[in-house]
């Protein structure tokens, strides 16, 4: 997958050494309740749309950008489902990284579903209970259906947490 310019600059200085990165992922849900999955071009696995936050970019704007770039859809974040970290990942490039991920619930506002940036090979919508093993699944703090039901979080929701300008 393409490496953001800021991370390329860091990697030029530190090589493959460990970095901790802020990331986002989205549960993009249609009106019928089905959840969008994308098959990744880099490893062929099914996953949720996701990406790395750029410096100065609010996580809610990052997820809007990533959904648009990866799927062609315009989506609006409606709530945070979870914030979680994962183990260190040794990428095939040799880079060592760990991600702290904000998982958003998003609703589709427009656009046309198509792989725009080469990160996705194909898409499908499935029931949350039917989601196959995802690369992020082992790191979720609760099963996805439980998070969607609102029973996985430990704090009340506030719309003030989202920066929706441009979504």
What confidence score (pLDDT) does residue 150 get? 75
Sign of the Cα torsion 59, 154, 82, 32 reads negative
Q: 21, 98 in Cβ contact below 8 A?
A: yes
Task: Judge whether 75 and 26 are in contact, CB under 8 Å.
Answer: yes
In a domain, 162, yes or no: no
Integer Cα distance of 31 and 20 in angstroms: 35
Alpha-carbon span 90 to 108, nearest angstrom: 33
pTM (two decimals): 0.84
Question: Would residue 123 count as lying in a domain?
Answer: yes
Cα dihedral 108, 112, 115, 117 sign: negative
Mean pLDDT of the chain: 86
CB 43 within 8 A of CB 133: no
* Two tokens, residue 69: 């770039």
Nearest-angstrom CA–CA distance, 130 and 150: 18
Q: Say if CB 128 and CB 148 are below 8 A apart.
A: yes
Does residue 160 belong to any structural domain of this protein? no
- Does any domain span residue 157? no
* Tokens linked to 48: 């949720």
Residue 71 lies in a domain: yes
* CATH number of the domain that residue 18 is part of: 3.90.79.10
Query: How would residue 135 be classed by pLDDT, with cut points 50, 70 and 90?
Result: low
Q: What is the pLDDT of residues 13-27, one digit of tens each?
A: 999 999 999 999 999
Residue pLDDT, tens place only, 42-67: 888 888 999 999 999 999 999 999 99
Domain residues for the domain of 55 are: 5-133+143-148
Residue 117 banded pLDDT, cuts 50, 70, 90: confident
Look at the block and give the residue holding tokens 């979720």: 140
> Is residue 11, in this structure, part of any structural domain at all?
yes
Query: Which of 62, 35, 58 is closest to 126 using CA atoms?
Result: 35
Pairwise CA distance, residues 61 & 94, whole Å: 29
Number of Cβ atoms within 10 Å of the Cβ of 10: 15
How many distinct structural domains can be found in the chain? 1
Give tens-digit pLDDT for 149-159.
875 554 555 66
């Amino acid at each position: 997958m393409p490496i953001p310019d800021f991370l390329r600059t860091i990697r030029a200085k530190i090589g493959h050494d460990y970095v901790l990165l802020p990331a986002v992922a989205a549960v993009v849900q249609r009106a019928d309740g089905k959840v969008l999955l994308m098959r990744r071009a880099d490893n062929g696995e099914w996953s949720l749309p996701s990406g790395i936050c750029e410096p100065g970019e609010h996580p809610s704007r990052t997820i809007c950008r990533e959904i648009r770039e990866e799927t062609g859809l315009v989506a609006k974040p409606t709530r945070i489902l979870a914030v979680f970290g994962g183990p260190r990942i040794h990428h095939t490039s040799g880079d060592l990284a760990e991600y702290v991920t904000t998982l958003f619930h998003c609703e589709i506002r427009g656009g046309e579903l198509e792989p725009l940036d080469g990160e996705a090979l194909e898409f499908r919508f499935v029931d949350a209970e039917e989601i196959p093993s995802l690369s992020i699944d082992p790191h979720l703090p609760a099963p996805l259906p439980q998070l969607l039901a609102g029973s996985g979080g430990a704090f009340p929701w506030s719309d003030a947490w989202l920066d929706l300008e441009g979504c």
